[in-house]
């Protein structure tokens, strides 16, 4: 008679572990998606800032030195954008792995 309650307890324990595993996986997916969203917002913000800087600069008459500084700033901004885009691709790849692993 003691055998059935023992099996039931073991079965419940397995169910609880599986529920925890599923919950953790869901949290991982949610966190990965949040990271992707944050990175995308950063990219959009950098692109907007770069566009504003380019528009502001184009509307002025500047010296050759100022033009060179502006080109450097623009190149630095583009580099930041490319780094963020690379990070975004890596995050998307990680999210795809998480989705496939379940």
d(CA 100, CA 88): 18
Q: Which helix (H) or strand (E) holds 87?
A: helix 64-101
- Write phi, then psi, for 93 (nearest 5 degrees): -65, -40
> Any idea what DSSP says for residue 1?
-
pTM: 0.77
Structure token pair of residue 82: 């490319």
CA-based nearest residue to 34, from 100, 79, 102, 98: 98
d(CA 73, CA 77): 6
Q: What is the pLDDT along the chain (102 residues), one digit of tens a residue?
A: 456 788 888 889 999 999 999 999 999 999 999 999 999 999 999 999 989 888 877 777 778 888 888 889 999 999 999 999 999 999 999 999 989 987
CB atoms near residue 84 (< 10 Å): 19
d(CA 9, CA 2): 11
């Amino acid at each position: 008679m003691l055998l059935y309650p023992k099996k039931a307890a073991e079965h419940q324990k397995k169910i609880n572990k599986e529920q925890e595993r599923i919950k953790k996986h869901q949290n991982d997916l949610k966190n990965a998606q949040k990271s992707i969203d944050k990175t995308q917002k950063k990219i959009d913000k950098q692109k907007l800032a770069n566009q504003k800087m380019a528009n502001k600069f184009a509307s002025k008459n500047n010296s050759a030195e100022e033009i060179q500084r502006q080109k450097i700033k623009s190149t630095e901004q583009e580099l930041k954008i490319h780094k963020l885009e690379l990070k975004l691709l890596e995050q998307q790849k990680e999210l795809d792995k998480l989705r496939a692993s379940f």
